[in-house]
Structure 1
Amino acid sequence: MLKTALTFVCALVLLASPLAQAKKTRLTDDPLYGITTTSPEAFLGYPLGRYLLRHDQVNYYLKQIAQQNPRVSIEQTGHSHEGRQQLTAVITSKNNQQQLASILQQRQQVKYQAKQTGPLVIWLAYSIHGDEASGAHAALKLSHMLASSKEKWVTNLLENAVVLITPSQNPDGMDRFSTWANGYAGKVAVSDSNHKEHKQGWPSGRTNHYLADLNRDWLFLRHPESQGRVALFHRWQPHYVGDFHEMGHEKSYFFQPGVPERTHPLTPLANQQLTAKLASYHQAALDSKKQQYFSRQLFDDYFYGKGSTYPDINGAIGVLFEQASARGQQQNSINGVVSLQEAIANQYATSVSSLKGALALKTELQDYQSEFFKNKHQKANKKAPRQAGRLISTPNDNLRLKQLTVLLSQHKIEYYYLTNPLTQGGKEFAVANSIFIPDTQAQSALLDALFDDVTEFADPTFYDVSAWNLQYAFDLTVRKNVKLELSVLSQAAPKFNPVEWSDKAVALLIDWRQSQATPALQQLLSQGVQVKFAAKPFSLAAKTGALDFPAGTLQIPLKQQAFSASELSQIVKKVSQDLSIAVTPAYSSGAISGIDLGSPDFKIVRPIRPLIISGQGVSASEAGQIWYYLDSQLKVATSLVDASNLGSIKLSNYTHIIFADGKYTHLDESFSRQLGSFTSHGGVVIAQKGALNWLSKANFLKANLRDARFYQQLFNGNGLAFDQKEAFKAKQSIGGAIVELKLDPSHPINFGLNHMRLAVMKNMPLGFAQTGNDFSVAATYASQPLLSGYLAQEYQSSFANSPAIIVETRTKGAVVALADNLLFRNIWLGSEKVYANALYFIPALH
């Protein structure tokens, strides 16, 4: 028995050895450097594309060939939300691999020297949308070819270039999709578009764990996948970036240039000229395959938050590729059957053409990058006693400033902290929440893009948003063209100094205007601490004079049944230190003006139990943004419940029912009655954008809604020629423009906001009528609403002074109706407080 066991163990060891593995997989490639590099087919045990790849298979393959082949090494760029490793293969000659440290050091100097040395850097990145699978498969095929090929052009390429290959940029979405498609694939391929293999469940594999489109996150960097990707970009500072995607199955193949008139004006003309030169290589590659393609149509080069445009504002050439998608093994289309195998072949062909084209244009790419950064960096201006730039502050809020500085650092944008408070243009800039960003620096082009404020466009057609100015997203106070002495600036962030208090304090107060106040409130509630909020402003006496507190201020009474005053103090101190949040002790309940601390106008905040409706018909991206805010930012246990299951659950188990944008036509009158009972007993419904259509049709929403049909009447298309109709349709679209809201500061939904006005992203023709007595209007669109981006004048005139945020009372509960998404891509930090108020304050005060 023992002998048999030992024989079995020895067999396992033998099977695990490299020699045994080589025999098992029958490697047949010609050896390079005396070794054999495993092909994808040998690694998988079946032809590449027979089954859709999982992310772990991609990673294992990259690691295996890196162990086998001296041309290959691995870069790790962090993990996804679900903990999956993000890997990039670094492929270059054996000699360059030995010099990588020196090459990387050279790359870090690209922004600061006129003449470049060292190899060309080419980055090919695939499948940022998890259900666009052909790219990841082509990446493995390409990695193997580069690692093992003896062709002269390949050896020449690898001597003169470093090739970065990232097969999957969205690990969580990729695995969601591959599990779905493989699970419904039969032994016989089904090309019927109605087959379940091609009809993904909710959510699709396009998005990441929090249902975010990662190809809209290059500027905002709200997700770890994006953060690692941009860190890789700036580590290598590539000359060329290939961004490989899939599109609808009825199309053919696309590569840039995109629509010339829809290129962002900050992108240099030379960038588009080089893109056009590179296109000739893609044309030749696809023509040789008799694969049809198109260019200069449909897609643009405008929004810098995408993989093909972020390089353009950072000194590289970014090129978008789009392959018709099989969304599985094969699918019927008007052009015939689209197959995964053919898609892989096309993506491989343009990957190779990218390498050949970039190598042929090496000198031009290097010269272009040097010219892009020429004279932009501060090192040329260190002797100047004064620097011009932007002075920025986040009044009464340190967290938004911290998040801004983190974002700037990730984009390698230089900034400084003040050493003394300043006053500019009648605005005070405190040391604790102000920074200065010099105009002259290596990343000045990207800096200008982040604060872009264009409102006039030659072509009003946009593939994505037309505006993204961080001033509005972060609700920043900004002063441009400010000149400051370098001596009043510091690279060191001011230290947070928590306030101490004695045992004579009767209560602790937290200014709600601090962004950290919301997660602090949630932490306190989760520990069973009683917290109240002020429905009205008040002032308390202090040694330095009167201290004014706005409505929304949180109060933690230091006399509570569940805790001693000492225990409460320790809990609050820890929260204060963990979140760097200012806490003010009160030594008397008596106010010198406004409400006293024991006033009934201090309302108790109840713990929240939110439910987000999910499933078919619901906007996955917007549901994901709400989920991300609650789960990742506030640390609130949040239930996602499929709409089809709503009839079988008790709504009374929850405090809030949240409707993201979407079409809820499958919900019936029975559920509307359930909602009515829910709100009458104290529940709160929060609904935004398209969800309001269903609430209105179900007679649940009392406000008079204006939907797309109302706004279409504003546009007159009579007498248009056929070739004018496309532009007319674009004019009617709201791709994404920043508009201004005028707030009612006394309304609890607006507590904690610093200004009478608020900027929001508008991307849907939807609003409310100006009349009605059954609701309170918390915010209206400004008389001249457009702040940044494109919005047709017809919309501007119609939205002007009309309601944007409405709160309707329901016995003990309420309905919060939002015409816009106030958590847009989780970068709209300036309006997050509205959501916080709807969660914590509206149940107690409406």
Structure 2
Amino acid sequence: MTLTKRFLTTGIFTLLISVTTFSQDYFFKDKAPFNASIPSPETFLGYGIGEQHTRHDQIVAYLYKLAEVSDRATIEVYGKTHEGRKLVILTVSNPDNLSNLETIKTKHLQFVDPNKSPSNYDDVPVFIQLGYNVHGNEPSSSEAALLTAYTLVASNSSEVQNYLNKSIVFIDPTINPDGRDRHTQWANQYKSNPLVSDNIDAEHNEAWPRGRTNHFWFDLNRDWLLAVHPESQGKLKWFHNWYPNVVTDFHEMGTNSNYFFEPMKPIGSQDPIMPKENYEDLNNLFAPYYANALDNIGSLYYTKEAFDGTYPGYGSSYPDLQGALALLFEQASSRGHVQDTDYGKITFPFTIRNQYTSSIATIKAAVENKVQLRKYQQDFFKSAVANSTKSGVSAYEFGDTHDKNRTKAFLDLLLKHKIKVYKAKDKFQVPLKQPQQRMVQTIFETYSKYRDSVFYDASAWSVANFYNMPYKGLKSSKLGEEITEVSNIVSNTQVTKSEYAYIMDWDDYNAPSALYYMQSKGVKASSAFKPFSANTNNGIQSFNYGAVMIPVSKQKLSSSEVYAIIKEAQQNYNVPVYSTNTGFSIKGIDLGSNNFRTIATPKAALLIGEGVNSYEAGEVWHLLDTRIHMPITKIRMTNFNRANLDKYNTLVMVSGGYSQLDSIQKQRLKSWTAKGNTLITIAGASRWAINSKLVNEKLTQKPKDSSKTKTERLPYVDASEHIGREQLGGAIFNVNLDITHPLGFGYQRNELPVYKNNNVYLSPSKNPYSTVAKYTKDPHVDGFISNKNLETFIKPSASLIVSPLGGGRVVLFADNPNFRGAWYGTNRLFVNALFLGNQIFIPRSFN
């Protein structure tokens, strides 16, 4: 008896007995006959798909086996994860296509070249990229990837033969291997025999941080645009080498849901960058294929009423800006092997079958509509070059001469997206008329008008603002030399040996990394609390607030040892460092001034664990680990009461409930801070600190309405829309930053864009020196915010406050300065708090 007979016709109820007894025919019996010399997943793994969660190494091994035994498949490694796991793609087609793949690829790429106009749309196989498991604890799709690979490699049915003749299929089985294995281990270790379907069972409830995210607890499905992680960087490099016509993005959602496929809800942007032909014509062209396939197996589904493709950084939206059709699928999750739902029991095999069915339906739809897909992709890139933007801008000019490493990082991101960039004296220019015009718009354009007010995710993504990159639109431009790589963008004069002092410019993004490197080697340094100009080995140089001074005579190391360390730091981080032989400044403070204050080596800890926002915690860990190269102790909440806080001078708390901290632990935290230490709170943790009365600050309150107005009666069906409108999904605002404050050191401009995706609003401090950053009078830069929130909460509020606590201080961020690892513009504020926190003394003699 197969498992098929144990499903009711709705396709959501299942499992009256153990799933270990079912036949794999449940998935693909209609694709027979199969080549007996090709091992099935069940034969290779030793268990049937759906009986166990399959580890990533087993998935990779099976695909390698298929490539070894079949001439229908080849395999390549396109990257590695943070934890060293392979990222692989299995390429499947008929043997003739594979033996001529480079020739086919050359023909395919002619359709994405605006300078060429081939019309043989039906002669070239369609390129289909099936992407699975970007969220590690949404495991059904990787299992479906194994079934799909086996079907394409082993089936001799006429249907599959036709697909292989007319397509090149690229199977990426696990986009997030680190997260998947975290979840796989959890689900398998808590699996019972007999299976337990009770929702509260440990199998269905992972421990923090759970398997959704990658090694640093980032959501990789938001990283296509930002390209922060090696997983995304490898995928982008692969993507821009192949430009597939169709890309899938398989997910899971709540256990009580059914199945979702596109079309999504309408795009929230009033004037979407994505062509209308994509989200209307092509989506509607493919939808009947999924409906028919799922109808045939009795699965319920829905479309159009949920999710959105507004943010361009998803796996289901980024390919849309590359002339492809990107497709989102969402399967109700069994979150283990079997789980109770409102409709009965949902099993792991059932979830896998829906994903497998949609995979095959995607191939069918692409093959049968390859002419339209190719013509669409060709028109997409031709229109990018031929059409002018409504803004009338011909190019964007950008660059920050004060911070070349931040500019370099921005340039590097543009090149990852194959955006053409040109040199323009000491700045850079990006023309609009280029194949990646829509990506240029994504990077630079900002918006204030939307046709929707409820977003699945961010409503603002102008990446130039992420980097605090000064830029402007040009009506006309004269392009210089094209920039194709960034290795020579930053050039600094090598520092010479001094017996007196060295000075490092704090404006450079890499300066904190270089400073920590020097501190870790035993070098002592101080920070300039006022600007000055000095005579250096490279002539007279002006130094901003925060410039780092290393006095040779104050070191325990010899002058030769000091010089060797400083030279290494400069070479490692390519920062501007100068030597000087005098303490007498040309202008401003001298090097012996009391306005130079010692920088203590950061000894930081971060609270993590249940109740803490893992995204924000991971962003802190990632920043310090990968850019500052500074260790941070991660203290689980369950261990906080026995942690010796005196080992640290800085403690970081991100958004979270912190209900585990009772009155005794709160007092302990307060006493530790009062000793002279620095507590940094981000977003929700800042609200917690205020509500817990750790600090004498307030949240911005809604003004009391003295008039007694009658409550307006509204339709019930509109409730979620009205409530959602007041949520801040993610928008960008300008703040006025006090660049004379230690937290503002290294900034040249008072105006700074910040990212806000929460409802934490800090009231400006009563202490006139404590409000470091306040939203400007006209703060909106990009993204949706209701007028009520803008006027009532944003405009009167502060973004960053430092509040005194005994001999220490609490640094309260209303916004997340480290959002998604991409906010180069604001994470300097956070880093300043780490390095300079101990030198923030808040004057209290005021009225």
Normalising by structure 1, report the TM-score: 0.91
Distance 1:448 1:670, change over 3 A: same
The match for 1:165 among 165, 171, 178 is 171
- 2:537 and 2:60 map into 1 onto residues whose CA distance is 62
User: Is the 8 Å Cα contact of residues 241 and 318 (structure 1) preserved in structure 2?
Assistant: yes
Match of 2:94 in 1: 93
Match of 1:461 in 2: 454
1:755 counterpart SS class: coil
- Cα distance, 1:30 vs. partner? 8.3
Does residue 594 (structure 1) correspond to residue 601 (structure 2)? The answer is: no
The match for 1:517 among 505, 511, 519 is 511
Does residue 805 (structure 1) correspond to residue 800 (structure 2)? The answer is: yes
User: Is the 8 Å Cα contact of residues 707 and 766 (structure 1) preserved in structure 2?
Assistant: no
- Structure-to-structure mapping, 1:32-43, within 5 angstroms: 36-43=37-44
2:170 counterpart SS class: strand
- Structure-to-structure mapping, 1:578-593, within 5 angstroms: 578-593=572-587
Match of 2:58 in 1: 57
Distance 1:490 1:359, change over 3 A: closer
Match of 2:403 in 1: 397
The match for 1:549 among 526, 540, 543 is 543
Deviations 1:204-225 (A, max 9, x none): 1000000000000010010011
User: Is the 8 Å Cα contact of residues 604 and 649 (structure 2) preserved in structure 1?
Assistant: yes
Match of 2:209 in 1: 203
1:485 counterpart SS class: coil
The match for 1:795 among 789, 810, 826 is 789
Does residue 363 (structure 1) correspond to residue 360 (structure 2)? The answer is: no
User: Is the 8 Å Cα contact of residues 779 and 804 (structure 1) preserved in structure 2?
Assistant: yes
Does residue 119 (structure 1) correspond to residue 125 (structure 2)? The answer is: yes
Match of 1:629 in 2: 623
Does residue 729 (structure 1) correspond to residue 723 (structure 2)? The answer is: yes
Q: Give the AA of the match of 1:171.
A: P
| Bigger shift: residues 354-363 or 560-569 | 560-569
Deviations 1:775-816 (A, max 9, x none): 711111111221100011111112214222110122332110
| Bigger shift: residues 693-702 or 273-282 | 693-702
- 2:135 and 2:746 map into 1 onto residues whose CA distance is 37
Match of 1:23 in 2: none
The match for 2:329 among 303, 321, 329 is 321
- 2:661 and 2:415 map into 1 onto residues whose CA distance is 46
- 1:343 and 1:678 map into 2 onto residues whose CA distance is 50
- Cα distance, 1:62 vs. partner? 0.4
- 2:142 and 2:497 map into 1 onto residues whose CA distance is 62
- 2:347 and 2:453 map into 1 onto residues whose CA distance is 35
- Cα distance, 1:662 vs. partner? 1.4
Q: Give the AA of the match of 1:833.
A: R
User: Is the 8 Å Cα contact of residues 111 and 374 (structure 2) preserved in structure 1?
Assistant: no
Distance 1:406 1:487, change over 3 A: closer
User: Is the 8 Å Cα contact of residues 107 and 235 (structure 1) preserved in structure 2?
Assistant: no
- Cα distance, 1:716 vs. partner? 9.8
- Structure-to-structure mapping, 1:495-506, within 5 angstroms: 496-500=490-494, 503=497, 506=500
Does residue 267 (structure 1) correspond to residue 285 (structure 2)? The answer is: no
- Structure-to-structure mapping, 1:135-174, within 5 angstroms: 135-174=141-180
Deviations 1:535-579 (A, max 9, x none): 111222469985321110011112244222233222212221221
- 1:150 and 1:47 map into 2 onto residues whose CA distance is 21
1:449 counterpart SS class: helix
Distance 1:658 1:255, change over 3 A: same
Does residue 337 (structure 1) correspond to residue 345 (structure 2)? The answer is: yes
The match for 2:291 among 283, 288, 292 is 283
User: Is the 8 Å Cα contact of residues 531 and 604 (structure 1) preserved in structure 2?
Assistant: yes
- Structure-to-structure mapping, 1:349-498, within 5 angstroms: 349-377=357-385, 388-418=394-424, 421=425, 430=426, 434-481=427-474, 483-487=476-480, 494=488, 496-498=490-492
| Bigger shift: residues 166-175 or 400-409 | 400-409
Match of 1:104 in 2: 105
1:202 counterpart SS class: coil
User: Is the 8 Å Cα contact of residues 661 and 688 (structure 1) preserved in structure 2?
Assistant: yes
User: Is the 8 Å Cα contact of residues 693 and 707 (structure 1) preserved in structure 2?
Assistant: no
1:105 counterpart SS class: helix
- 1:580 and 1:90 map into 2 onto residues whose CA distance is 41
- Cα distance, 1:414 vs. partner? 1.0
Distance 1:582 1:317, change over 3 A: same
User: Is the 8 Å Cα contact of residues 602 and 649 (structure 2) preserved in structure 1?
Assistant: yes
1:332 counterpart SS class: strand
Deviations 1:429-461 (A, max 9, x none): x2xxx3211111111112112223111111111
Match of 1:12 in 2: none
1:761 counterpart SS class: strand
- 2:112 and 2:676 map into 1 onto residues whose CA distance is 58
- 1:409 and 1:606 map into 2 onto residues whose CA distance is 38
- 1:183 and 1:244 map into 2 onto residues whose CA distance is 25
User: Is the 8 Å Cα contact of residues 540 and 590 (structure 1) preserved in structure 2?
Assistant: yes
Normalising by structure 2, report the TM-score: 0.91
| Gap regions ≥5 residues in structure 2 | 1-28, 842-847
User: Is the 8 Å Cα contact of residues 417 and 491 (structure 1) preserved in structure 2?
Assistant: no
- 1:517 and 1:338 map into 2 onto residues whose CA distance is 53
Match of 2:355 in 1: 347
- Structure-to-structure mapping, 1:232-251, within 5 angstroms: 232-251=238-257
Deviations 1:630-678 (A, max 9, x none): 1111111111111121001110011111001111122111111111221
Does residue 180 (structure 1) correspond to residue 186 (structure 2)? The answer is: yes
- 2:765 and 2:512 map into 1 onto residues whose CA distance is 33
User: Is the 8 Å Cα contact of residues 130 and 173 (structure 1) preserved in structure 2?
Assistant: yes
Deviations 1:616-636 (A, max 9, x none): 110000100000001111111
Deviations 1:80-131 (A, max 9, x none): 0000001111000000110122223334433212325621001111110000
User: Is the 8 Å Cα contact of residues 455 and 789 (structure 1) preserved in structure 2?
Assistant: yes
- Structure-to-structure mapping, 1:778-789, within 5 angstroms: 778-789=772-783
- 1:655 and 1:573 map into 2 onto residues whose CA distance is 28
Match of 1:826 in 2: 821
Distance 1:771 1:828, change over 3 A: closer
User: Is the 8 Å Cα contact of residues 415 and 484 (structure 2) preserved in structure 1?
Assistant: no
- 2:52 and 2:701 map into 1 onto residues whose CA distance is 44
- 2:482 and 2:501 map into 1 onto residues whose CA distance is 37
Distance 1:757 1:269, change over 3 A: same
User: Is the 8 Å Cα contact of residues 390 and 479 (structure 1) preserved in structure 2?
Assistant: yes
- Cα distance, 1:714 vs. partner? 14
- Cα distance, 1:189 vs. partner? 1.3
Q: Give the AA of the match of 1:128.
A: V
2:160 counterpart SS class: helix
1:279 counterpart SS class: helix
Deviations 1:3-41 (A, max 9, x none): xxxxxxxxxxxxxxxxxxxxxxxxx998978x7111000
2:657 counterpart SS class: coil
- 2:830 and 2:112 map into 1 onto residues whose CA distance is 41
Distance 1:501 1:275, change over 3 A: closer
The match for 1:655 among 645, 649, 658 is 649
Percent identity over the alignment is 33
Distance 1:439 1:591, change over 3 A: same
- Structure-to-structure mapping, 1:543-692, within 5 angstroms: 547-692=541-686
Match of 2:21 in 1: none
User: Is the 8 Å Cα contact of residues 404 and 490 (structure 2) preserved in structure 1?
Assistant: no
User: Is the 8 Å Cα contact of residues 775 and 809 (structure 1) preserved in structure 2?
Assistant: no
Residue correspondences, number? 798
